[in-house]
Structure formats: C-alpha cells, structure tokens
Structure 1
C-alpha cells in the first residue's frame, strides 16, 4: 500500500514539474486582455506582439458572445491592438479570446473573466421576482373590496357562532 502511494505521489510531482516547465512565458506569444475581469456591457481592449511589426490580426470573441473584431497595428512598435464590447447578456464565467495573425496565421489566446460585480460595487438585480404566487392585493379595486367584505362576513359569522356556543345555545 505504501509503495503504491509513493509511486502515485512521485508520478504526481513529476507531472506537475513537467507542466510547470511547459507553461508558456508571457510575452510575444500571448494575447493581453485588458481589463481581464469585466461585467457585462464593458469595453475590452486586447493587444499582442505575436504578429510582428506592422502586423494585423482578426480577433474572435464569439465565446463571450461579442463576435469578430479587428486588431490593427498600434503606436507601440510591434503591437497590434483591438477592442470589443462584452454583450449585456453575457453570463459569468471564463472565456477564451482568440486572435489570428494576418501574416502567418499564428493563433494567440487570452482569457477574459465575466462577473456580475465590478470593483466599484455590486450590480443589483432589476425587475420583479416571478414566484408563481400572486400578490395579496390585486390591481382591481372591486375584487379587493369584495375579498375584504367576504373576510369581514366570515369573521362576523365565526364570532357569532363562538358566542352562541359559549352561552350553551348550541349550533
């Protein structure tokens, strides 16, 4: 049993070490997504140095529902930059944003996290809660008055019956 546990532990460490060595370094091969965490409706800027000097790219944010966008050469040498807006209907989660360089077809990716809260405070829900149970008072005043009258008659009748029972008259 111990031998199996040591073997599994050693294998796990070896896999973890290999994974750390294979992790890509941040730089020319990555897509920089800024801000990396947004709420639905915000504007996102992406840039990359992977496409070389004067390189352009086609971006794809369809995973989050924004669709394609263009990355054009920026004022920073060797950088391509583009923007897209996260749709208001976007659901919370982590989405992969992709850009494909026009020159050599190289694909670079970056992650975008969509949340319902921003750094400025909490986004509050809008609208009513649909529980399937109606309200106590309807919109029709005639029905409301009829309901109140029915309750009053029932209360008066119940009180009268209790009073007769207490006197011993029977029901």
Structure 2
C-alpha cells in the first residue's frame, strides 16, 4: 500500500491575526499583523473573502511581527469576513475576522443641504424665495377672507 505525502498545516501556536481597524468601511485601509511566524518570518495573506485578494506580510525594520495592508473594495457589503495568513517556511496559518461597516463617509462629517423629495420644505435653501412664498400665501389668505366676508354680508361678488 502506497501512502501519498501531504503537507502538514495547522494553526500557529503563537496567536491570531490582528486586524486594525477591527471595523472598516468600504474603501478604507486595513492593516493585518501577526506574530505567529517564527523568527520574524514573512507570510502570505488572503483577503479574498472581502474581495481584496492576496497580500504580503513582512516584518518591519524594527519589529518581529509580519505586517501587511489591503484596501476594502468600495463594493464590499457590510459583514464579517475571514482573513488568513500562511507563514512562509512553516506552513502555519492564522486567521482574523475584520468587520466591514456600512459606508458612512468621513468620520465627523455630517451631510448638509436639502433633500429633493418633491414635497417641499419649511425653509428652502433661498431666503428670498421663502419670503416671496410667505407673502403670496398672506395675500391669498387676505383676499379669500375679504371675499368670504362680502358674501356673508350679501354684497355679492
């Protein structure tokens, strides 16, 4: 009976993948870091679950952790995605789970302006148009009141 050789893979004993920020928005950059690769080794990462493809993780000049970055695609849907990294040489693999939040634009920036709903608003974007509209309503109300008063007295129209 012949046995075929299989590579041994498994979870690395040194930990998981750290993902910063843990909650990212579509279009945002994510940093992936792991200390699982022994002796400051490098790793290949897979962010395909979120649609970002593969990435390389390598230690910086003064650190032992292997670090890499990817950008969350603008088309990414909100949810939790698994990111994996496989250490070069040892074959150990580790995972992390970043969360993609709904797109909210830039932090601290709130929308401004009016919404075109077709219904109108209490205050439009132009104060001159608002004043003209109020004046037209006042003239119409005064004219209607005068006509109703004449009709009630029997003066006719």
- TM-score with structure 1 length normalisation? 0.54
User: Could you tell me how far apart the structure 1 residues matched to 2:18 and 2:89 are?
Assistant: 21
Q: Is 1:137 aligned to 2:121, yes or no?
A: no
Corresponding residue for residue 21 of structure 1: none
- Is the contact between residue 36 and residue 111 of structure 1 (CA under 8 Å) also seen in structure 2? no
Which of 23, 27, 46 is the matching residue for 1:38? 23
1: CA distance, partners of 2:108 / 2:154: 60
Q: Quote the RMSD (CA, aligned, Å).
A: 4.0
Asked if structure 2 preserves the Cα contact closer than 8 Å seen for 1:46 and 1:82, the reply is yes
Unaligned runs of 5+ in 1: 1-24, 117-122
Aligned to 2:146: 160
Structure 2 counterpart SS, 1:98: strand
Q: Which residue of 1 aligns with 2:5?
A: none
Q: Which has the higher contact order (CA 8 A, sep 6+)?
A: 2
Give the corresponding residue for 1:18.
none
8 Å contact kept, 1:58–1:70? yes
Structure 1 position 47, deviation (Å): 0.4
Relative to the length of structure 2, the TM-score reads 0.57
In the aligned structure 2, how far is the partner of 1:86 from the partner of 1:130? 31
| Matched residue, 2:47 | 61
Please give the alpha-carbon distance, in whole angstroms, between the structure 1 residues aligned to 2:115 and 2:49: 30
Q: How many residues are paired up?
A: 136
Q: Structure 1 CA distance, aligned partners of 2:108 and 2:80?
A: 21
Equivalent residue of 2:56, what SS? strand
Bigger fraction of residues in helix: 1
